[in-house]
Each structure stands twice: as structure tokens, then as C-alpha cells.
Amino acid sequence: MKRCVPLESAAETLCNQSSVPPLIFQMPPEKGRRILEEMQDTPVYKYPADISSVCIDTGMWGSIPVYFIAPKDKKIKNIIFYIHGAGWVFGSFHTHEKLVRELSARTNSLVVFPEYSRSPEAKYPIAIEQCYFILSQIKEIIGECFSMLGFTPLIVAGDSVGGNMAIAMALMSAMRQGPCIHRLLLYYPVTNACFDTPSYCQFAVDYYLYRDGMKWFWQQYTASLKDQNQITASPLRAGIDCLKCFPPTMIINGQADVLRSEGEAFGEKLRCAGVEVTALRVQGTIHDFVMLNALDSTNACRTAMDASTQWINRLCQCPFTEDRNN
């Protein structure tokens, strides 16, 4: 088909494949989960890593697996608390393994990866409360599993709805006087339950992530419009004063993505709040382009991974202050 935005060939192929009915959001959640898991069986290079996991009880929010991805035979310089995307409904450590291995290896970071309870079984705010519990206890949790020497910078990161929840971590940490987040890395984040933005209108169908698909994901995650209006669900609705405490933030968006407008709008709002923002729009690609194994070798994915790992490595050479609880 002729597109209003030309795509890299691998992204074009994926769009065509994913446009064949029934679409993933038209299936029962369990079937959609299996399809994404199988998609991510596509062979891809995975950076060497030491991987372990524990099950952690988050109290009233339930027990969840937490994975640790450590660089192979390298000193740990940073901690990356990574929250996965895939619509709050799909996604797992398996679907994001190649991505977090690369982040770990290229930044000498210990990646902490909570496998939160998914929707529709777990409605807002269960997943963010589970993630925040892990984040708030991260020093104790890591201390039981790893020997950390001295102070280690904390980066919170996520893709898509994981980016949405990463923003929620920054808001919740500020509101609850939680751990100090030193950097925030967001790949094509969800920031607002609004479906009439320019990118939603331009890429509503046939660009992998459908507008109707995002409406469905929001319906699975939230029980009401009141939930959707909360700033920990739609952070673009947060006031400027709520954002002034945010750490330096990188936001990477894809050109042909329904979420592009809201991701870029959130970056602009952070700048208005005086936050240091690095923003990048990657051309010729679609949603999920840093996560999907099939798009790993595209220029878009390589550009985004180069930019984000270099950003972490550069900024994490700067001096930090310890967290507000110490």
C-alpha cells in the first residue's frame, strides 16, 4: 500500500503482517499474549548477561517476579529500573529480553525488571503500585542479591505503557518522598488518554498500533474515565508544578506512531517546567521499534539504542546527590 510516511522495509513488512484480521486487540488477551510471545521468538542477537529472578511480595498488591539483568564480567555503574510496555495487557521479560540485555551491556547497568500483573485481570493502579513497591525497596532488594559498592545512580526507564508507568514512578516518588530518580528514559511513552491528536489521526490504521487498539488497551487497564484522568495514568494532564522535580529526561518517539504527538507534548511540558529534556523523533518507523526482535537491525532501532545508551553513559558521568531518604 502507498503510505503517507515511507517506512523502512522491515517496518513495512511488519505493518502488512499485523494488519491481517483478526487484529491482536480483537482477540482474547491470552491469545494476544501468546502471539506476541511467539513474535519475540524471532532470532536476534542478545548481549551476554547474567540473569536471575526472585518473587517479591508487594503486600496488598500481590506477589510478582522481578528479574535482574547484570552485565557479564563488568563492574556495575548504574541501576536501571525498567518497566515493560505492550499495552498493559501483553508483554513479559521474554518479549523485552533483547532490549534490556542491550541496555545492561552497553551502559554497565544492573537492570531491575518487574513483571507486573497485567490487565484486564489487574486494573489501575495495581501495576504501578507493584512497581512502586519494588522501586521504593530497591536498595534492600538489590542488596540481598548483589554486592554494590558505594552510591549507584538510579535510572527509571520504560517503553510505551512502560514509559507511562515510568513517569508514574517519578510522580509517585515525588509525592511520597520516595527514592531519588536521577534519570528518566522513555521510549515512545503513553502520556494521555486522548485519541484525536495529529498522530492519532494520521496513523489511525495500518501502522501496526491502531487507534482502536489503544482505546481497547485503555479500557483493559482502567475501570473508569476517572481513572484515566489521574495524573499517574495520564501524566500529560499533570500541572507544571508537579513536573518541576523531574530528573533529566530522554524521550524517543517513532515518526509513524499514534503515540508520537502525546510523547512530544510531554517533553515540551517538561521543558516548560524547567526540566532538562533530550527528545528525538526517529524517521521511517513505527511503534515498538526498539522492542521488537524483527526491527532490531533497522536504522531506527540502532539509532535509538545508540542515542539512549550514549545519553545514559554521558550523563551518568556527572555528579549526583544521594536520595532524599538518606
Tell me how far apart the alpha carbons of residues 326 and 198 are, in angstroms, rounded to a whole number. 44
Average pLDDT over residues 187-205: 98
Tell me how far apart the alpha carbons of residues 80 and 181 are, in angstroms, rounded to a whole number. 10
Average pLDDT over residues 8-33: 97
Query: What pLDDT score does 323 carry?
Result: 45
Phi, psi of 83 (to 5 degrees): -110, 125
Is 212 designated active site? no
Q: Tell me whether residue 326 is in a domain.
A: no
| 260-309 per-position pLDDT tens digit | 999 999 999 999 999 999 999 999 999 999 999 999 999 999 999 999 99
Query: What pLDDT score does 322 carry?
Result: 52
Query: What pLDDT score does 136 carry?
Result: 97
Q: Tell me whether residue 323 is in a domain.
A: no
Specify the number of domains making up the chain.
1
Cβ proximity of 231 and 165 under 8 Å: no
Query: What pLDDT score does 319 carry?
Result: 59
Q: Among residues 136, 199, 287, 296, which one is catalytic?
A: 287
Q: Tell me whether residue 172 is in a domain.
A: yes
Average pLDDT over residues 234-242: 98
Containing domain of residue 122, as a range? 9-315
Instruction: Please identify which residue in the block is written with the cell numbers 475501570.
Output: 223
Query: What pLDDT score does 2 carry?
Result: 82
Query: What pLDDT score does 326 carry?
Result: 35
Quote the cell numbers at residue 172: 509517585
Query: What pLDDT score does 75 carry?
Result: 83
- Residue 149's Cβ-count burial label (10 Å; 0-12, 13-18, 19+) is exposed
Q: Is the pLDDT of residue 16 over 90?
A: yes
CATH assignment of the domain containing 31: 3.40.50.1820
Is 257 designated active site? yes
Cβ proximity of 264 and 279 under 8 Å: yes
Average pLDDT over residues 227-247: 98
Name residue 64's beta-bridge partners: 56
Quote the cell numbers at residue 105: 551491556
Q: Tell me whether residue 282 is in a domain.
A: yes
Q: Tell me whether residue 45 is in a domain.
A: yes
Query: What pLDDT score does 152 carry?
Result: 84
**SS3 call for 76:** coil
Q: Tell me whether residue 284 is in a domain.
A: yes
Average pLDDT over residues 234-254: 98
Mean pLDDT of the chain: 95
Q: Is the pLDDT of residue 149 over 70?
A: no
Q: Is the pLDDT of residue 325 over 60?
A: no
**SS3 call for 176:** coil
Q: Is the dihedral of CA 15, 19, 22, 24 positive or negative?
A: positive
Tell me how far apart the alpha carbons of residues 118 and 65 are, in angstroms, rounded to a whole number. 12
Q: Tell me whether residue 2 is in a domain.
A: no
The identity of residue 169, as a single letter, is M
- Counting residues of the chain whose pLDDT is more than 70, the rounded percentage is 95
Tell me how far apart the alpha carbons of residues 52 and 68 are, in angstroms, rounded to a whole number. 5
Sheet holding 277-286, edge to edge: 49-57, 63-71, 109-114, 78-83, 154-159, 183-187, 249-256, 277-286
Average pLDDT over residues 35-57: 97
Q: Among residues 257, 261, 296, 308, which one is catalytic?
A: 257
Nearest in space to 67 (alpha carbons), one of 126, 138, 115: 115
Average pLDDT over residues 201-222: 98
DSSP, res 71? E
Q: Tell me whether residue 206 is in a domain.
A: yes
Average pLDDT over residues 196-216: 98
Q: Is the pLDDT of residue 79 over 70?
A: yes
Tell me how far apart the alpha carbons of residues 150 and 107 are, in angstroms, rounded to a whole number. 18
Q: Is the pLDDT of residue 324 over 70?
A: no
- Counting residues of the chain whose pLDDT is more than 90, the rounded percentage is 90
Q: Among residues 18, 160, 173, 308, which one is catalytic?
A: 160
Q: Is the pLDDT of residue 255 over 70?
A: yes
Q: Is the pLDDT of residue 153 over 50?
A: yes
Query: What pLDDT score does 122 carry?
Result: 98
Cβ proximity of 215 and 144 under 8 Å: no
